Protein backbone atom coordinates (compact mmCIF):
# COMPACT_ATOMS: atom_id res chain seq x y z
CA UNK A 1 0.00 0.00 0.00
CA UNK A 2 1.42 3.43 -0.88
CA UNK A 3 2.68 5.62 1.97
CA UNK A 4 0.17 8.38 1.19
CA UNK A 5 -2.79 6.01 1.50
CA UNK A 6 -1.45 4.52 4.75
CA UNK A 7 -0.87 7.97 6.22
CA UNK A 8 -4.33 9.23 5.30
CA UNK A 9 -5.93 6.00 6.55
CA UNK A 10 -4.11 6.36 9.86
CA UNK A 11 -5.18 9.99 10.13
CA UNK A 12 -8.85 9.27 9.40
CA UNK A 13 -8.92 6.32 11.79
CA UNK A 14 -7.26 8.50 14.43
CA UNK A 15 -10.21 10.88 14.18
CA UNK A 16 -12.74 8.04 14.18
CA UNK A 17 -11.23 6.39 17.27
CA UNK A 18 -10.97 9.67 19.20
CA UNK A 19 -14.49 10.74 18.24
CA UNK A 20 -15.85 7.41 19.49
CA UNK A 21 -13.86 7.69 22.72
CA UNK A 22 -14.69 11.37 23.22
CA UNK A 23 -18.39 10.78 22.52
CA UNK A 24 -18.59 7.87 24.97
CA UNK A 25 -16.42 9.22 27.79
CA UNK A 26 -15.11 12.75 27.29
CA UNK A 27 -18.25 14.63 26.32
CA UNK A 28 -20.48 13.19 29.08
CA UNK A 29 -17.75 13.93 31.63
CA UNK A 30 -17.28 17.51 30.40
CA UNK A 31 -21.06 18.11 30.33
CA UNK A 32 -21.20 17.28 34.03
CA UNK A 33 -18.78 20.12 34.87
CA UNK A 34 -19.08 23.86 35.19
CA UNK A 35 -17.58 26.07 32.47
CA UNK A 36 -14.31 26.75 34.27
CA UNK A 37 -13.66 23.07 35.03
CA UNK A 38 -14.33 22.15 31.39
CA UNK A 39 -11.83 24.69 30.12
CA UNK A 40 -9.28 23.72 32.78
CA UNK A 41 -9.49 20.07 31.71
CA UNK A 42 -9.02 20.98 28.05
CA UNK A 43 -6.21 23.44 28.88
CA UNK A 44 -4.45 20.73 30.88
CA UNK A 45 -4.35 18.47 27.81
CA UNK A 46 -3.12 21.31 25.59
CA UNK A 47 -0.48 22.41 28.09
CA UNK A 48 1.58 19.43 26.86
CA UNK A 49 1.85 20.93 23.37
CA UNK A 50 5.35 22.13 24.15
CA UNK A 51 6.15 18.62 22.91
CA UNK A 52 5.62 19.91 19.34
CA UNK A 53 9.10 21.41 19.50
CA UNK A 54 10.27 17.88 18.68
CA UNK A 55 9.60 18.71 15.01
CA UNK A 56 12.77 20.83 15.02
CA UNK A 57 14.87 18.46 17.13
CA UNK A 58 17.71 17.08 15.01
CA UNK A 59 17.83 13.30 14.90
CA UNK A 60 14.16 12.83 15.76
CA UNK A 61 12.73 13.88 12.41
CA UNK A 62 14.35 13.39 9.02
CA UNK A 63 16.58 16.19 7.76
CA UNK A 64 14.30 16.02 4.68
CA UNK A 65 11.30 17.29 6.68
CA UNK A 66 10.75 20.72 5.11
CA UNK A 67 11.65 23.54 7.49
CA UNK A 68 8.57 25.51 6.41
CA UNK A 69 6.39 22.78 7.88
CA UNK A 70 8.55 21.86 10.88
CA UNK A 71 9.21 25.35 12.24
CA UNK A 72 5.60 26.55 12.06
CA UNK A 73 4.28 23.29 13.54
CA UNK A 74 6.84 23.37 16.36
CA UNK A 75 6.33 26.97 17.39
CA UNK A 76 2.56 26.90 16.87
CA UNK A 77 2.35 23.99 19.29
CA UNK A 78 4.75 25.66 21.70
CA UNK A 79 2.74 28.91 21.71
CA UNK A 80 -0.50 26.98 22.26
CA UNK A 81 1.03 25.02 25.13
CA UNK A 82 2.34 28.16 26.84
CA UNK A 83 -1.03 29.92 26.46
CA UNK A 84 -2.79 26.84 27.92
CA UNK A 85 -0.39 26.88 30.89
CA UNK A 86 -1.03 30.59 31.40
CA UNK A 87 -4.77 29.87 31.42
CA UNK A 88 -4.24 27.26 34.13
CA UNK A 89 -2.09 29.65 36.17
CA UNK A 90 -4.66 32.45 35.82
CA UNK A 91 -7.71 30.42 36.86
CA UNK A 92 -8.30 32.59 39.95
CA UNK A 93 -8.24 35.79 37.88
CA UNK A 94 -11.28 35.03 35.76
CA UNK A 95 -10.99 37.75 33.08
CA UNK A 96 -7.37 36.75 32.46
CA UNK A 97 -8.27 33.05 32.54
CA UNK A 98 -10.96 33.52 29.88
CA UNK A 99 -8.60 35.60 27.75
CA UNK A 100 -5.98 32.82 27.80
CA UNK A 101 -8.64 30.14 27.17
CA UNK A 102 -9.81 31.92 24.04
CA UNK A 103 -6.21 32.65 23.00
CA UNK A 104 -4.89 29.09 23.31
CA UNK A 105 -7.91 27.69 21.49
CA UNK A 106 -7.66 30.21 18.64
CA UNK A 107 -3.88 29.86 18.29
CA UNK A 108 -4.07 26.07 18.59
CA UNK A 109 -6.85 25.69 16.03
CA UNK A 110 -5.14 27.97 13.53
CA UNK A 111 -1.88 26.09 14.12
CA UNK A 112 -3.47 22.73 13.33
CA UNK A 113 -5.30 24.01 10.25
CA UNK A 114 -2.15 25.66 8.87
CA UNK A 115 -0.16 22.50 9.68
CA UNK A 116 -2.62 20.41 7.65
CA UNK A 117 -2.37 22.87 4.76
CA UNK A 118 1.44 23.01 4.93
CA UNK A 119 1.68 19.21 5.17
CA UNK A 120 -0.30 18.85 1.97
CA UNK A 121 1.74 21.58 0.24
CA UNK A 122 5.07 19.88 1.02
CA UNK A 123 3.78 16.41 0.14
CA UNK A 124 4.03 15.03 3.66
CA UNK A 125 1.36 12.31 3.22
CA UNK A 126 3.48 10.75 0.47
CA UNK A 127 6.67 11.13 2.54
CA UNK A 128 5.52 10.25 6.03
CA UNK A 129 8.98 8.80 6.72
CA UNK A 130 10.18 12.42 7.08
CA UNK A 131 8.34 12.50 10.41
CA UNK A 132 10.54 9.79 11.87
CA UNK A 133 9.73 9.22 15.54
CA UNK A 134 7.11 11.99 15.43
CA UNK A 135 4.82 10.01 13.10
CA UNK A 136 2.44 9.28 15.98
CA UNK A 137 1.83 12.98 16.65
CA UNK A 138 -0.36 13.72 13.61
CA UNK A 139 -1.94 10.27 13.70
CA UNK A 140 -2.80 9.90 17.39
CA UNK A 141 -2.35 13.24 19.16
CA UNK A 142 -3.52 15.83 16.60
CA UNK A 143 -7.03 14.39 16.15
CA UNK A 144 -7.60 14.61 19.91
CA UNK A 145 -6.28 18.17 19.96
CA UNK A 146 -8.60 19.28 17.16
CA UNK A 147 -11.60 17.55 18.72
CA UNK A 148 -10.94 19.20 22.09
CA UNK A 149 -10.52 22.63 20.49
CA UNK A 150 -13.94 22.21 18.90
CA UNK A 151 -15.34 21.08 22.25
CA UNK A 152 -13.74 24.08 23.98
CA UNK A 153 -15.43 26.47 21.56
CA UNK A 154 -18.71 24.60 21.98
CA UNK A 155 -18.55 24.95 25.77
CA UNK A 156 -17.49 28.59 25.49
CA UNK A 157 -20.64 29.56 23.58
CA UNK A 158 -23.06 27.06 25.13
CA UNK A 159 -25.21 28.48 27.92
CA UNK A 160 -24.67 26.69 31.21
CA UNK A 161 -27.71 24.68 32.28
CA UNK A 162 -29.62 25.45 35.49
CA UNK A 163 -28.82 21.98 36.84
CA UNK A 164 -25.10 22.50 36.37
CA UNK A 165 -25.27 25.96 37.98
CA UNK A 166 -27.15 24.45 40.94
CA UNK A 167 -24.58 21.65 41.35
CA UNK A 168 -21.70 24.11 41.14
CA UNK A 169 -23.42 26.35 43.68
CA UNK A 170 -23.91 23.42 46.07
CA UNK A 171 -20.30 22.37 45.69
CA UNK A 172 -19.12 25.91 46.43
CA UNK A 173 -21.20 26.04 49.62
CA UNK A 174 -19.85 22.72 50.97
Q: Let me know if residue 124 belongs to a domain.
A: yes
Q: Let me know if residue 172 belongs to a domain.
A: no
How many domains, in total, are found in the chain? 1
The predicted pLDDT at position 10 comes to 96
Kindly tell me if the per-residue pLDDT of 172 is higher than 70. Answer: no
- pLDDT tier, 161 (very low <50, low <70, confident <90, very high otherwise): low
The predicted pLDDT at position 164 comes to 53
Kindly tell me if the per-residue pLDDT of 163 is higher than 90. Answer: no
- At residue 51, the 3 state secondary structure works out as helix
Q: Let me know if residue 108 belongs to a domain.
A: yes
User: Between 125 and 169, whose confidence is greater?
Assistant: 125
- Tell me, letter by letter, the H, E, C secondary structure of 66-91: CHHHHHHHHHHHHHHHHHHHHHHHCC
The predicted pLDDT at position 157 comes to 95
CA distance linking residue 28 with residue 33, whole number of Å: 9
Tens of pLDDT, residue by residue over 95-131, are 999 999 999 999 999 999 999 999 999 999 999 999 9
Residue among 155, 136, 147 nearest 108 (CA): 147
The predicted pLDDT at position 159 comes to 83
Q: Let me know if residue 84 belongs to a domain.
A: yes
Q: Let me know if residue 60 belongs to a domain.
A: no
- At residue 32, the 3 state secondary structure works out as coil
Instruction: Note whether 37 and 167 are within 8 A (CB).
Output: no
Q: Let me know if residue 115 belongs to a domain.
A: yes
Q: Let me know if residue 174 belongs to a domain.
A: no
Query: What range does the domain containing 86 cover?
Result: 3-55+65-167
Q: Let me know if residue 173 belongs to a domain.
A: no
- This prediction has a pTM of 0.89
Tens of pLDDT, residue by residue over 37-93, are 999 999 999 999 999 999 999 999 999 999 989 999 999 999 999 999 999 999 999
Amino acid sequence: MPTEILFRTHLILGYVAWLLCFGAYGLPWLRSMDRVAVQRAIATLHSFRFFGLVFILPGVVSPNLPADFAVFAAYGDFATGVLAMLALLAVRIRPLFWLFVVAFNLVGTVDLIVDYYDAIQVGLPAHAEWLGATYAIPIIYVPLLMITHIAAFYFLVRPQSEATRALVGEAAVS
